Amino acid sequence: MKSKINSQLPILLIDDDPVVLEIHVTSLMSEGVSNVLTLSDSRKTLQFLEDNPVSIIVLDLMMPHVSGLELLPILIRSFPQIPVIVMTSSDDIETAVSCIKAGAVDFLTKPVEVERLLLSVENALHINELSMENRSLREYLLNDRLEHPAAFDAIITTSKKMRGIFQYIEVIAKSDQPILVTGETGVGKELIARAIGALSGRKGAFVTVNAAGLDDNMFSDTLFGHKKGAFTGADQARDGLISTAAGGTLFLDEIGDLNEASQIKLLRLIQEQEYYPVGSDILKRTDARLIVATNHDLTNLIATNKFRKDLYYRLCAHHIQIPPLRERREDIPFLLDHFLDNASKSFRKPKPVPSREVTALLSTYHFEGNVRELHAMIFDAVARYTSGLLTLDCFTGLAGNDCSQGNRALLAPSKEVDDVLYSFFGRFPTIKEMEDYLTSSAMNLTSSNQRSAALLLGIARQTLSKRLGVAG
């Protein structure tokens, strides 16, 4: 079995025994790890590292001139970004503990089995990758910047929450680890996945697979392909989509709908980066990067034994939770304008101007379907639109929505809200004062259109008329 280690920078082995160095280099190369450098004189270590960037150091403790025990704290202090694995012929527990306390990430006792060495190197690479991501993320957040804003052009937003997600994406985009994207239906999970793919630097294709409705046989055939004669109707061999995504990104949507048999196969694919085409006993490898998405709460599925816990932990090495539209209402005016522009071009109509009541109602709409629902709503409204302002008459779903009911969950007591009420009224307002204020605001927002104002307030038009002293 070939190693999954694929470090861009070389691994440095430091040992005064050339035979040991040769054995370890040969062992690593036999497992597919060819990016290895060696150093037999510990006195040259610091200058060597200045001239040759490396990803990991495997350090022998017992060496002449400068021992590994002396060199370890210097390396940790001078090159804190490079994980150090200590290797020695002594199995003394106190030495191992002192090395770990000094900053080593692992302690190996000679002779070291190649599997143990590979596991240690792989873990150290993972630690190094996480450390680099944390440093980059801190820098991004402190400077509030995006290196590649064009990668997010397809996502219309001014939300600080979304900007924070974009910054995190720029940090993790080149990672080889799987990425889990979660969020409600319609929030834009595929757009996020495509932005990750664009920033990954991978030359291969971005391939999308929707797992919803796939039984195990369909899942296996779609992802892994089959050999000729594997089943009735398999008249010729076919490569799966994991092969199509070679050197690129495989986006697996609706991951929460996979059955247990398919989950096991996906787990093996992630762990070993290997798979068997249907009906074949020839093992194939993949270097495709995996992004998965779901609108399910996977922790709830785990609790009901519908999703494997080990698969979940493999998938969420990096986790992106996209907030629903109702938690970033500042995006609604920009999305409204964007969709009006697209819809008017699609229907070859002049771009309509929404009325004040439409804008007001959209700003309070619950949007169970999120951005996708807003998109469908605007396109349908523009299809109905003829001339003048875009009014409520063009919307079929908006008028029937109980806006106040949809937003009650968002109205929780808070000190900030209390402070605003005290500041505005000079004291805590009565219910009658709040009713009068809300009624007046709704009428102003809708240009005194009682039907629209009643929808904003979540009451019947007749009730509003009575409050205004008008016969309904």
Is it the case that residue 334 has pLDDT exceeding 80?
yes
- Nearest CA to 84 among 51, 106, 114? 106
Do residues 15 and 41 touch, judged by C-beta distance below 8 A? no
- Residue 137 CA: distances (Å) to CA of 144, 194, 203, 291, 439: 10, 20, 25, 20, 46
Q: Which residue has the higher pLDDT, 263 or 6?
A: 263
Residue 7's pLDDT is 55
> What single letter denotes the amino acid at residue 281?
D
- Is 171 exposed, middle or buried, given 0-12, 13-18 or 19+ CB atoms closer than 10 A? buried
Strand, coil or helix: 42: helix
pLDDT digits (tens, 9 = 90+) for 343-370: 999 999 999 999 888 888 888 788 999 9
Q: Is the pTM of this model over 0.85?
A: no
Q: Tell me the CATH class for 329-467.
A: mainly alpha
Do residues 185 and 204 touch, judged by C-beta distance below 8 A? no
Distance of alpha carbon 349 from alpha carbon 387, whole angstroms: 9
pLDDT band at residue 16 under the 50/70/90 scheme: confident
Evaluate whether 11-130 and 144-323 have a shared fold: yes
* CATH homologous superfamily of 144-323: P-loop containing nucleotide triphosphate hydrolases (3.40.50.300)
Q: 11-130 adopts what CATH topology?
A: Rossmann fold (3.40.50)
pLDDT digits (tens, 9 = 90+) for 200-259: 999 999 999 999 888 999 999 999 988 888 888 778 888 889 999 999 999 999 999 999
**Torsion on CA atoms 210, 212, 218, 223, rounded to nearest 10:** 30
Give one word for 103, left, alpha or beta, with left for phi > 0 and alpha for psi -120 to 50.
left
Residue 273's pLDDT is 87
Domain coordinates of the chain in residue numbers? 11-130, 144-323, 329-467
pLDDT digits (tens, 9 = 90+) for 77-121: 888 888 888 888 777 777 778 788 888 888 888 877 778 888 888
Q: Which residue has the higher pLDDT, 25 or 298?
A: 298
The residue written with tokens 């403790």 in the block is 61
- Nearest CA to 343 among 399, 398, 394? 394
